[in-house]
A and B are shown apart, each in its own frame.
Chain A
Amino acid sequence: MTTPLLEVKQLKKYFPQLGGVTGRKVLSEVKAVDGVSFTVNRGETLGIVGESGCGKSTMGRTILKLLEPTSGEIFFDGNDITNLSPKEMIKYRKDMQIIFQDPFASLNPRMKVFQIIEEPLINFGVKDKESRKRRVIEVAEQVGLTQAQLNRLPHEFSGGQRQRIGIARALISKPKFIIADEPVSALDVSIQSQVLNLMRDLQKEYDLTYLFISHDLSVIKHFCDRIGVMYLGKMVELTDKNSLYTNPLHPYAQSLLSSLPKSHPDEKKERIVLTGDVPSPSNPPTGCTFHPRCFSCMEVCKNVEPAFIEVEKDHFTSCHLYPNSAELQNKSIEKESVVHV
């Protein structure tokens, strides 16, 4: 097997909370991303889903080194990029780009669309003006912007069109890998589907690998091949989309899926309504961080942090309910035999 395009090992990003008389004392740390490991294979789309504050966006930014990781390792295309300086990162930036959530805040309001899309090329050292221009026009066409629109300013565009500009800017350097951080959540449904279709077309054309961050379970299901579920800075489940939606293992993933709104008024739904709120990441609960809200909490969950293990083939979770894969197999055999009887 070829090496995965991206490999993340035990990635951590802590934000210190400063205080004290001088304002330099570290009072506590917000554990935004706390030991996440996964790989992204070439050409696939890995979805990251979780509620607000679970650290999914911070993780995306840390992988691109827009934020300095606290510890852990990031391998891109086989190279360790964890400790590279911003200058050394430039040559990798060409290959790894990001699309942001808010198409209103992520475009410079004083730059014309042409300049916005062109800027990365200048940064990556494309000196020839003519070839830059050709490339901008080509990309603009691919994302559905006309040449005339390139001379306008961002405020003249609707949300969906601005997101197209953001996508064009990410694509201009022909990257291999794009992190899409909630690319459609600021858009209306009819526009959302246009943008998702565009992103899929571009994936084929550019042979792209996506890390798709979203809180919307139905968008994630539609767009991604494999999905990771995050809770309080940790990955609690990681598997391909069909096993996640038909057989979620972690109680948090189960309740998250059950709280999806119905797609039809007649649909019957067994809903697991979680009690309480997400705890603060500056003071996470001991043991399994989900235990105060968990409906199958055991004594062990309160003290011991569960390991992130493969309980079925390519199906990872961190929960004490699944101590190891051998037992689970026994369980499923039992289940089957019950069915046969």
Chain B
Amino acid sequence: MSEQAILQVDELKVGVIDGKKKTPIVNGVSFDLKEGETLGIVGESGCGKSMTSLSLMGLLPKGIDYLDGHIHLGELNLESFSKRNWRDIRGKKMSMIFQEPMSSLNPVYPIRKQVREMILSHEKVSQKEADARTLEMLKLVGIPRPDEVMDNYPHQLSGGMRQRVMIALALVNDPQILIADEPTTALDVTIQAQILELMQSLQKRLQMSIILITHDLGVVAEICDRVVVMYAGEIIEEATTKMLFDEPLHPYTKGLLSSLPSIHEEKEYLSSIPGTVPPPGSIVQGCRFKERCPFAHDRCSKDPEMFAHLNGSKVRCWLYGEEETS
């Protein structure tokens, strides 16, 4: 793993534009993705993690747009891209796989045609060559009987097989970055283990970086090198995976980790975080977690910055603010 960042997200704001009213959903998110690393973006539903990932691919839904900030992919400034520019990037430099493989594959075309289309839209090769590459790719992602599966339709495959096809489709043009949005959430645990193992081995082989969006801290522990934790549209903690589990800093991260039931411990009640996430667009002054936070304090009505902590993590919480000032 090298230290060079291949993707930089800088103070990115994405939101709903309704006439003159702008409601940010992703509110000033910054992070780097280094070469060859797996970065996890963790958070609960509605925290803006999926919007962040869609904005990286230029796939924001209608009515939602970039408000501010930058996304740098090498020399390129992605947030100002036109449709045409995006088409050259997607699938070639960056690829994405989604949660539900059934709804992201075209049900009326056989696998062969869908992968072929992906290859031909970026390269001028013969159909024969494209088919050969498809076959090779299907083998690589561990599909049994790949020559038969080539001519299958998505509905003939199981969930795990479909997700493998999605991965093959995403990786066929050898992208630098793979964005995986909850890739295993719809799958059973035994299949999830297979897919995570596959992603890890492919990453080593193909030397790519992965951004993994998930709500499942177990999956993070499994394959991520570094993690950013999102809450209500903001990044509230950034740490290496080991640090996040050994020494979580933000009260939200702590609460999240301790509310997970564990196989190894026996306790009657789980600790839980009271209350619910504030809805996007609700005007919260200062820290967005303060309503649910056991350590809330007067100063929390001011917006905390991302403070650097001694253990190398960064955290958006006033509890860790003194170290810098004093």
Contacts and interface: CB of A to CB of B under 8 A. Distances in A.
**A and B interact:** yes
A259 B263 contact: no
A256 B161 CA distance: 19
Given A265-B245, A266-B242, A189 B263 contact: no
A193 B215 contact: no
B121 interface: no
Which of B160, B242, B269 counts the most A-chain CB atoms under 10 A from its CB? B269
B160 A277 contact: yes
Nearest to B227: A265
A277 B190 CA distance: 9
Given A52-B188, A262-B221, A193 B270 contact: yes
A182 to B, nearest CB: 13
Interface in A169-227: 188-194, 196-197, 200, 215, 217-219, 221-223
Contacts of B80: none
A222 B261 contact: yes
B215 A188 contact: yes
Contacts of A274: 190, 194
Interface string B194-208: 101100000000000
Interface residues of B, number: 42
A263 B260 contact: yes
A51 B260 contact: no
A250 B72 CA distance: 51
B218 A263 contact: yes
Interface in B157-184: 158, 160-161
Contacts of B32: none
A197 B190 contact: no
Contact of A51 (B44, B190, B194, B221): B190
B215 A267 contact: no
Interface string A44-62: 0000000110000000000
Contact of A190 (B188, B189, B255): B255
A129 interface: no
A221 B261 contact: yes
Contact of A189 (B190, B260, B276): B260
Interface string A109-153: 000000000000000000000000000000000000000000000
A217 B190 contact: no
Contacts of B45: 159, 188
Interface string A219-255: 1011100000000000000000000010000000001
B28 to A, nearest CB: 23
A73 to B, nearest CB: 30
Interface in A264-290: 264-267, 271, 273-274, 276-278
Contacts of A267: 221
B102 to A, nearest CB: 13
Contact of B158 (A222, A265, A277): A277
B190 A261 contact: no
Which of B241, B260, B267, B268 counts the most A-chain CB atoms under 10 A from its CB? B260
Interface residues of A, number: 41
Contacts of B217: 189
Contacts of A3: none
A52 B217 CA distance: 21
B273 interface: yes
Given A190-B272, A196-B261, A217-B263, A264 B221 contact: yes
Which of B197, B261, B276 counts the most A-chain CB atoms under 10 A from its CB? B261
A266 B243 CA distance: 11
Contact of B189 (A196, A256, A263, A264): A256
A200 B269 CA distance: 8
Interface string B252-283: 00011001111110011111111010000000
A245 B263 contact: yes
Nearest to B197: A273
A324 interface: no
Interface of B: 44-45, 144, 158, 160-161, 188-194, 196-197, 215-219, 221-222, 241-242, 245, 255-256, 259-264, 267-274, 276
25 contacts: A51-B191, A52-B188, A159-B45, A161-B276, A189-B260, A190-B259, A190-B272, A191-B276, A193-B259, A196-B261, A196-B270, A217-B189, A217-B263, A245-B263, A255-B190, A261-B219, A262-B221, A263-B262, A265-B245, A266-B242, A266-B245, A273-B193, A273-B194, A277-B161, A278-B158
List the 6 shortest-distance A-B pairs measured between CB atoms, nearest first. Answer: A261-B218, A222-B261, A259-B193, A193-B270, A193-B272, A51-B188
Interface of A: 51-52, 158-161, 188-194, 196-197, 200, 215, 217-219, 221-223, 245, 255-256, 259-267, 271, 273-274, 276-278
